[in-house]
Amino acid sequence: MSRDLTISQKLDTMRYLPFSLARLENSLGTVQWPGQPVRMNFPSGMDLTANQRTYLQGRLNALARLTTGENPSASKERLSLLTKLLLGFPTAGSGGEKAAEARASFYLDAVDDVAPWAIDAAIKRWVRGEVENANVDFAPSPGALRRLCEIETEPFKQQIRQIERLLAAVSIDRAMDPKPLETSLRIIK
């Protein structure tokens, strides 16, 4: 239970970009030069400090780990959650060992890059009947489970997009210069 509380607290602290950075991201402009990708730019006189860039890069890495469940035990946790899901709901048709292996394989393929906390939250929503227009008397299909997991991770993926935009932004002066950007600068569309 303490692990669930720790994950919940981590999710709460990582759910939103700090206000000042979110406001800065909202103020980004765009410039499009013919034959070049769109450039994100900061308002006049604004830019990220070295500390802000370091913070954002660290947060980006943490969010990537959070949304994909990159840790040594994630595969076992996914399998445990899916086993519990499949054992807890009736199945139609053959209940043989080969059928069970095939079903488990489909589910594992559907959520192999999803963090276990998101799978757990999606399953709980399904079990509680909190999914509209779904027959919650049976386990969700692998695709339906994946879509529920994506709903759980979307706020964090939105923040990843915000951070990527901030890190890719250049000064307005550089954005207005038609010379192509150096390849070390990332362009976000």
Specify the DSSP element, H or E, that contains 31. Answer: strand 29-31
In 3D space, the residue among 76, 73, 169, 152 whose CA is nearest the CA of residue 117 turns out to be 152
CA-closest candidate to residue 25, choices 154, 167, 174, 157? 167
Q: Residue 79 corresponds to which tokens in the numbers above?
A: 């399998």
Beta bridge partners of 173: none
Q: Where are the domains of the chain?
A: 2-176
At 93 the pLDDT is 63
| pTM: predicted TM-score of the whole model, two decimal places | 0.81
**Considering Cα of 161, then 167, then 172, then 173, what sign does the dihedral take?**
negative
CB 21 within 8 A of CB 56: yes
Q: What per-residue confidence (pLDDT) applies to 158?
A: 93
pLDDT at position 184: 52
- What whole-number distance in Å separates Cα of residue 111 and Cα of residue 68? 10
Q: Which helix (H) or strand (E) holds 40?
A: strand 39-41
Which residue's entry shows tokens 């695709």?
Answer: 143
pLDDT at position 1 = 44
According to the model, what pLDDT value does residue 73 have? 84
- Token pair for 133: 């227009």
Identify which of 139, 128, 129, 132 has the alpha carbon closest to the alpha carbon of residue 82.
139
Pick from 152, 168, 163: nearest CA to 22:
163
Evaluate whether 149 touches 111 at the Cβ level (below 8 Å).
Answer: yes
What is the full per-residue pLDDT of the chain (189 aa) written as tens digits? 455 556 666 777 788 899 999 999 999 999 999 998 999 999 998 999 999 999 999 999 999 988 887 777 888 999 999 999 988 887 766 567 888 888 889 999 999 999 999 999 999 999 999 998 888 888 899 999 999 999 999 999 999 999 999 999 999 999 998 888 876 544 444
